[in-house]
């Protein structure tokens, strides 16, 4: 989901994704973890590779990826709202 969220505002290559995810949530993904996620997301059809720029290859999110990301973020928002409401009640 971090990779999908990172690609939501435009195509990026691996290093740009790592830096964007650090800015987004403070987590620095390892290179192996990132490419493991990229391989699985690509096989699921949620991201697509673009033509390579030198040796780096950017990726973009697909329409299916946008749908999945929106659904998961909506679930997460409901969950966080419910949790915050319970915390305010304390």
Partner 1 sequence: MNPRLAHLLVCLYPRWWRERYGTEFEALLQAGRGGLRPSANVVWSAVYEHVFPTPGLVMNEHSIGTLTRKPSAFLPITMSLTALAVVLVHIAIFGTAREPDDGWTDASAGIFRHQVAAAGSTADAGGAGTAGRSGACFHGAGLLLASVKMRLGVCLGVLAIQLFTSQKTAAEFAESSAASLPFRVVRAGGPHDSRRDAGGTLQINTAGAERRSRHRLCR
Summarize as ranges the residues that interact with partner 1 (CB under 8 A).
13-15, 18, 30-36, 38-40, 43, 52, 54-57
Nearest-approach distance from CB 27 to partner 1, in angstroms: 13
The Cα 64–Cα 47 span in angstroms is 8
Nearest-approach distance from CB 8 to partner 1, in angstroms: 20
Query: Taking each helix axis from N to C terminus, what angle separates 31-44 and 14-25, rounded to the nearest 10 degrees?
Result: 100
Identify which of residues 39 and 76 has a Cβ nearer to partner 1 in the complex.
39
Identify which of residues 1 and 84 has a Cβ nearer to partner 1 in the complex.
1
Distance set, CA 88 to CA 5, 65, 78, 79, 81 (Å): 28, 34, 15, 14, 11
Identify which of residues 13 and 73 has a Cβ nearer to partner 1 in the complex.
13
């Amino acid at each position: 989901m971090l990779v999908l969220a990172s690609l939501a505002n435009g195509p990026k290559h691996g290093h740009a994704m790592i830096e964007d995810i650090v800015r987004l949530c403070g987590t620095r993904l390892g290179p192996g973890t990132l490419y493991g996620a990229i391989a699985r997301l690509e096989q699921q059809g949620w991201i697509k590779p673009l033509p390579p720029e030198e040796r780096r290859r950017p990726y973009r999110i697909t329409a299916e990826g946008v749908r999945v990301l929106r659904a998961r973020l909506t679930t997460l928002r409901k969950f966080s709202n419910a949790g915050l409401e319970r915390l305010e009640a304390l």
